[in-house]
A and B are shown apart, each in its own frame.
Chain A
Amino acid sequence: AQSVSQHNHHVILSEAASLELGCNYSYGGTVNLFWYVQYPGQHLQLLLKYFSGDPLVKGIKGFEAEFIKSKFSFNLRKPSVQWSDTAEYFCAVTTPVTSGTYKYIFGTGTRLKVLA
């Protein structure tokens, strides 16, 4: 079955530290990849997405992610985190089910806490 794995469930960093959150998916076909973020008390919102083209994608708030097809990975990075990045981060993938329809799969999430 298709799945998305996020290896780090909880991450604690100090401000200005670099961040990398892992995401691996299991599906051999064409995928669309996403990172969503949920700040405390807020809705899930899109951080960045990959459909095709340049495997290094940039999102909002200085985040970026790299799609490595051979590793089935889509890791999220930020060179220098801020206290305001404290949130839960979800990796997600869409895979085609039948022509014109898609299945959405989310990872279990990573809770990031940034210490001021």
Chain B
Amino acid sequence: DTGVSQDPRHKITKRGQNVTFRCDPISEHNRLYWYRQTLGQGPEFLTYFQNEAQLEKSRLLSDRFSAERPKGSFSTLEIQRTEQGDSAMYLCASSPGQGNFYEQYFGPGTRLTVT
């Protein structure tokens, strides 16, 4: 299967700990997006990359959050000093850079629980 993959699928951490999530986009998709989804809400845009360049960041992305895509392939999302309010599903999506680049392909998500 060559879909978007995310790792881990579930993460339980204690408040104050740092966590890092990984996203592997569909091969050759040069756009990659991160979203956060809480219960009863739609995905909330966090940030997106074109290749290795981070082109847009939401105001939701506080200083404790950082995302990278160093080689333009996989991406990582790190949350430092986690808080209970960070508990959510973190979704990754990718899209081609041309043509249908608006169409996003989503991964299964990483569910974060901060205790």
Mark A residues whose CB is within 8 Å of B: 4, 6, 9, 32, 34, 36, 43-46, 49, 51, 90, 92, 94, 97, 100-109
Task: Kindly state the separation between the CA atoms of A44 and B33 in the bound complex, as whole angstroms.
Answer: 13
Task: Kindly state the separation between the CA atoms of A56 and B13 in the bound complex, as whole angstroms.
Answer: 46
Nearest-neighbour CB distance to chain B for A42, whole angstroms, equals 8
Selecting from B14-22, B65-73, B76-84, B104-112, the interface stretch reads: B104-112
Task: Kindly state the separation between the CA atoms of A92 and B44 in the bound complex, as whole angstroms.
Answer: 11
| Interface of chain A: mostly helix, strand, loop or mixed | strand
Task: Kindly state the separation between the CA atoms of A107 and B44 in the bound complex, as whole angstroms.
Answer: 9
| B: contact size bracket | 20 to 34
| B103–A46 CB distance below 8 A | yes
Nearest-neighbour CB distance to chain A for B110, whole angstroms, equals 13
Write out the residue numbers on chain A whose beta carbons fall within 8 Å of the beta carbon of B41: 108-109
Task: Kindly state the separation between the CA atoms of A4 and B41 in the bound complex, as whole angstroms.
Answer: 12
| A104–B106 CB distance below 8 A | no
